[in-house]
Structure 1
Amino acid sequence: MILLRFTVRNHKSLRDEVTVDLTRTSLRTLQPRDGNWTAATYRTCGIFGGNATGKSALLDAMVYAFSAIRDSSTSWQASRTMQRAPFRLDPASREKASTYVLEFVLDGRRHEYGFEVDARGVAREWLRDVPSSRWRMRLERDRDDRVLRPSTQVTDRELVLSRALHFPQSPLHDVARRLVDEFDVVLVKDSYREARLSMIADMLASGAIDVDDLQALLRIADIGVTAVRIEEQDLPQAFRAALAQFHRSLRAADSPADAVEVEPDAEDELDSDDQLDDPVLEQVVRRLLFTHAGADEDCPPFSIQDESDGTVAWLAIAVPALETLRRGGLLVVDELDASLHPHLMDLLLGAFEDQTINEHGAQIIFSSHESYVLSPLSTTALDPEQVWFTDKNADGVTELTSLAEFHRHRDANVAKRYLTGRYGGTPRLAPSLLSALVTSET
Structure 2
Amino acid sequence: DWRLKNGAKMVVVDPRLTVTASKADQWFGIRPGTDLALALALAHHVFEHDLQDQRFCDNWVEGWDAWRDYLMAKGYSPDWAAGITGIEAAQIRALAEDIARADGCVMFAARGVNQHANGTQTNRALMFLAAITGNIGRKGGAFFNFGTPSPVVANAPADRIRHPEKPMAGVNPARWLDAMQTADPYPIRAFITCNNPLSAWPHQDRVREAFKSLDLLVHIELFANETSAYADYVLPAATGVEKGEISRASEDRRVVWIDKVIEPPGQAKADGWIWIELGKRFGFDDVLQDKYKDSALFWDEMCINDPWMKGCTQKRLHSVPWRWVRVPVTDEDAPEIETLHLEGTTALGSPEGHRFPTKSGKLEFWSPAQEAKFQALGFSALPEFYTDREQLIDLPYAVRTADGTAVRSPFAKTPADTVTSRIVQPDANSPARALKARGFD
Q: TM-score range by the shorter chain?
A: under 0.3
Q: Which has the higher contact order (CA 8 A, sep 6+)?
A: 1
Task: Kindly indicate which of the two structures has a greater share of residues assigned to strand.
Answer: 1
TM-score relative to the length of structure 2 = 0.23
Output the TM-score relative to the length of structure 1.
0.23
